[in-house]
Structures are given as C-alpha cells and as structure tokens.
Amino acid sequence: MTFRSILLTFAFVSALSVPAFAQVPIVRIYEDQSYSPFFHCGPQGTLHEFIVVLHNVDDVVSAVDFSIQYPASMIFLGDQLPDGGYFNNEVILLGSSPTGVAVAWHSCCMTDASQGLVVLRPLIMWTGNCDCAQALVVGGYTPLGKTQPSFVRFADFTEHPALGSASPWIQCSVPVEPTTWGKVKSLYR
C-alpha cells in the first residue's frame, strides 16, 4: 500500500465520521441569542437570563430533560419557559434546572427541531466571584439518576439520549508582568 492510498483512505474515513458526530443531539446553554459557546462574567448583583437549546434533532420532539450545574459565580433564581408561543404556550415544566428539569409540550410537540429548540430560559444573579476554571455544565435528569440529557420523540414516544455540554468563560484576566528572556532563563538555572 502506498503512502498516497493510505492518505486517501484516512481522508475518506475522516470525512465520513465528521458529519455523523455533528448530528449527535446535544443540549447546550448559551449566554444570549448569538449562540456563542463562551460566557462573560456579569457585574456583581446583576441578573442574567441564559437560554438552553436542544440541537441536532431531526424528529418532532415532545419532551426533553436535563440538569445544569451552576458555578459559584452565580445564584440560580428560577427557570422560565421558552418564548415563541409553542402551541399557545402549552408547555409543562417539572422540576428545576439545578436538580433536574423536564420540559414537555402537552398538546403535541416542537415541530421543527432541526434548527435547534429553545427549551428553557434560566435566570441567575451574578455574585462577582467569577473564576476562569468554572463552566456551566449541562448533565442528565438527576431525579432518575441520568448522567446525560435525553429527549422524547413524538412519533413513537421513545426516549433518546443526547449529549450535555460544558460552556467555558473567555473574559478571564491572566496576570502578566514585563520581563526579559534572561530573567526567565535565570529562573531555571
């Protein structure tokens, strides 16, 4: 086998695996409607509303469940139902996002899940203790011992797994001081 055939085989296999992974259902939390995966810390005492979105589902969805692990830099205040008038706001909310929440549409479902569904809007207050090592982590519905989110397909009411996500902060200061290369080298002699 030549190097060229090995390289072409690797490229072909890689191309097949990327779209398959890209279509894995995932529940992710965002700072705002721009869907940026990064967060900025807010001033102490201010309120902020996040959005939770279910992505990569090509089926009609009737329910979703998950939990959110909030870092010490924020205090959870409450969960709000998604905007958008989903079937006259016929949405049922069970639990709360820190301990496990289930969101269901009682008359039918979310009809277009392919572009991402806003399923929840958690409200928090910033405490001012923002740390670069923290993240908002989406996990499973803890009252049932789940470790990953899941959703229910409307067509046959079967439950399907989804991935949770961790969203890091980007506005973190890194302490620096002016120095010379000679001073840095002297530290290791």
pLDDT value, residue 172: 59
Distance (Å) of CA 126 to CA 14, 24, 41, 133, 157: 42, 32, 8, 16, 38
What is the domain-level CATH number for residue 126? Answer: 2.60.40.680
Predicted confidence at residue 114, as pLDDT, reads 61
Q: Which residue has the higher pLDDT, 61 or 132?
A: 61
What's the pLDDT at 89? 55
Is there a domain that residue 64 lies in?
Answer: yes
Give me the domain span that covers residue 120.
25-167
Among 41-55, 61-75, 76-90, 131-145, name the one with the lowest average pLDDT. 76-90
Task: Report the distance separating Cα 63 and Cα 152, nearest Å.
Answer: 5
Residue 164 confidence (pLDDT): 92
Distance CA 75, CA 125 (A): 5
Instruction: Measure CA 178 to chain center.
Output: 38
pLDDT for the residue numbered 138: 93
Please tell me the predicted confidence (pLDDT) of residue 179.
85
Q: Is the pLDDT assigned to residue 162 strictly greater than 70? A: yes
- pLDDT greater than 80 at residue 176: no
| Number of domains within the chain | 1
Taking residue 98's Cβ as centre, other Cβ atoms within 10 Å add up to 14
Q: Report the pLDDT averaged over residues 153-172.
A: 81
Domain membership of residue 63 (yes or no) is: yes
**Cβ–Cβ < 8 Å for 27, 101:** no
Q: Are 111 and 87 in contact (CB under 8 A)?
A: no
What are the distances in angstroms from CA 125 to CA 71, 83, 88, 152?
11, 20, 29, 31
What's the pLDDT tens digit per position in 142-158? 888 999 999 998 888 89
Confidence of residue 8 (pLDDT cuts 50, 70, 90): very low
Token duo for residue 4: 């060229």
Residue 3 is assigned to a structural domain of this protein: no
